[in-house]
Amino acid sequence: MNDNPRQERFKELLEKAEFYILNQKYSEAVKILKQAIATDDESPHAHYLYALALEGSNEQEKAKQHFRRVLELDPEHAEAKTHLDRLIGE
Amino acid sequence: MPKIFAVIGLGTFGSAVALELARRGYEVFACDRDPDKIEELGSELANAVELDATDEKSLQDAGLDEVDTALVSFGDSIADSLLVTMLLKGLGVKEVVVKVADERHARLVKRIGADRVIFPERDMAIRLVENILSPDIFDFIELSEEYSLVEIAARKKMLGRKLADLHLRKRFGVNVIAIRSKVPVVNKKGVPDIEEKINIAPGAEDEIREGDTLVILGRDQDIERVKKL
């Protein structure tokens, strides 16, 4: 993303989503992260946070899809691997 | 003295049981009549031998009479499973657990003295169906024809409320015996993550939070009513 205001907005959305996740407000984080991903669909971190928030909201199927997306974008993403393994095994 | 275990029949189920017992530090005697299976597991199990368990003398020579609990896990032959169960009881093995393939097999081994019968395929199938039909049911154990233990995602209506305020026992006749929570953490790399914590025997003041899974014990019909909340 070269567009600075968009980049700024994206960063803000991720920070806000992290805040919600860390306060166990997973469904609030899900709403924010939908917007973040609409802004940039290629960010492994955004997909990771989205998957995490979905898992936190007990939306396991959607969480798996986004952990998979993280691994497409970053095959070495250790946290995504761990979560996906656990969810598939459940 | 620590318990000694034997696993007779090293198919997928038997070998998984033997390896898990060994991993937990127990002495496990494992045997199968197929030498390939012994070779496969030999590096991971100290005491895996090729043996025809339907032969009483082989069982005796192998020291099976010293075993506390034996699992008979034959996939293909009901006749062998019955014979081995009988031989093991005859040798004085205290507890013989038998993996069965169907109801008829279960009835027969019970009649000849099996202490416990397990039916993993059927149990797994029931759990799978329950999970496919209700994706927010994470696990399910049928305790009797009437009672089950289920893991159910906390309903939206429950969030932010104390367990006591939900009156689940009064309204539905079910008991919450544990709550599994998805607790946010920051990992060593500074990345947000979620850890699972379990609260066994939760108190009346415990609050239901997003991501919680309730482990509920109750009658099937009452659990169904909770699911509809």
Question: pLDDT in tens for each of the 229 residues of chain B?
Answer: 778 999 999 998 999 999 999 999 999 999 999 999 999 888 888 899 999 999 999 999 988 888 999 999 986 788 999 999 999 999 999 999 999 988 888 889 888 889 999 988 888 877 777 766 766 667 777 777 788 888 888 988 899 999 999 999 999 999 999 999 999 999 999 999 999 898 988 999 999 999 999 999 999 899 888 888 8
Dist. CA B115–CA B150, nearest whole Å = 26
**Based on the domain organization, do B193 and B220 belong to the same domain?**
yes
Which residues form the domain of B186? 123-227
Distance from CA of A21 to the nearest CA of B (A): 7
Indicate whether B93 and B144 sit together in one domain.
no
How does DSSP classify residue A72?
A: H
Domain that holds residue A38: 4-89
Q: Which of B101, B118, B135 is the last residue of a domain?
A: B118
* Residues B153 and B222 occupy one common structural domain: yes
For residue B44, what are the CA distances in angstroms to B15, B16, B48, B106?
10, 11, 9, 31
Number of domains in chain B: 2
Residues of A contacting chain B (CB within 8 angstroms): 18, 21-27, 48-49, 52, 55-58, 60-61, 79, 83, 90
∠ CA B226-B128-B19 to the nearest 5 degrees? 120
| Chain B residues close to A23, C-beta within 8 Å | 184
Domain boundary among B64, B87, B118: B118
Using a cut of 0.95, tell me whether the model's pTM lies above it. no
Q: How many CB atoms lie within 10 A of CB B198?
A: 11
Task: Say if residue B35 is in the same domain as residue B90.
Answer: yes
**Same domain, residue pair B219 and B162:** yes
Among the candidates B102, B118, B134, a domain finishes at B118
Same domain, B136 and B95: no
CATH code, domain with B147: 3.30.70.1450
User: What are the distances in angstroms from CA B8 to CA B19, B84, B122, B134, B227?
Assistant: 13, 9, 21, 37, 41
Do B8 and B97 belong to one domain?
yes
What distances in angstroms separate CA B222 from CA A40, B45, B146, B147, B150, one per listed residue?
Answer: 46, 45, 10, 9, 12
Out of B135, B154, B192, the one facing A52 most closely (by C-beta) is B192
The tally of domains found in chain A comes to 1
8-state DSSP, B43: T
Half-sphere exposure of A9 (CA within 13 A, CB side): 13
**Residue B23 belongs to domain with CATH number:** 3.40.50.720
Task: Give the CATH number, domain containing residue A83.
Answer: 1.25.40.10
Give B10-35 as a DSSP string.
-SHHHHHHHHHHHHTT-EEEEEES-H
B163 and B198 in a single domain? The answer is yes
**Quick one: B107 and B152 in the same domain?**
no
Note whether B208 and B112 are same-domain residues. Answer: no
Q: Which residues contact A87 (CB under 8 A, 6 or more apart)?
A: A55, A60, A63, A64, A67
Output DSSP code: residue B207.
B
**CA angle in degrees (0–180, nearest 5) for B64-B67-B71:** 90
Residues of chain B whose beta carbon is less than 8 angstroms from a beta carbon of chain A are 135-136, 138, 153-154, 182-184, 186-187, 191-194, 209-211, 213
- Judgement on whether residues B155 and B209 belong to the same structural domain of the protein: yes
**Predicted ipTM of the assembly:** 0.89
Tell me: do B99 and B198 sit in the same domain: no
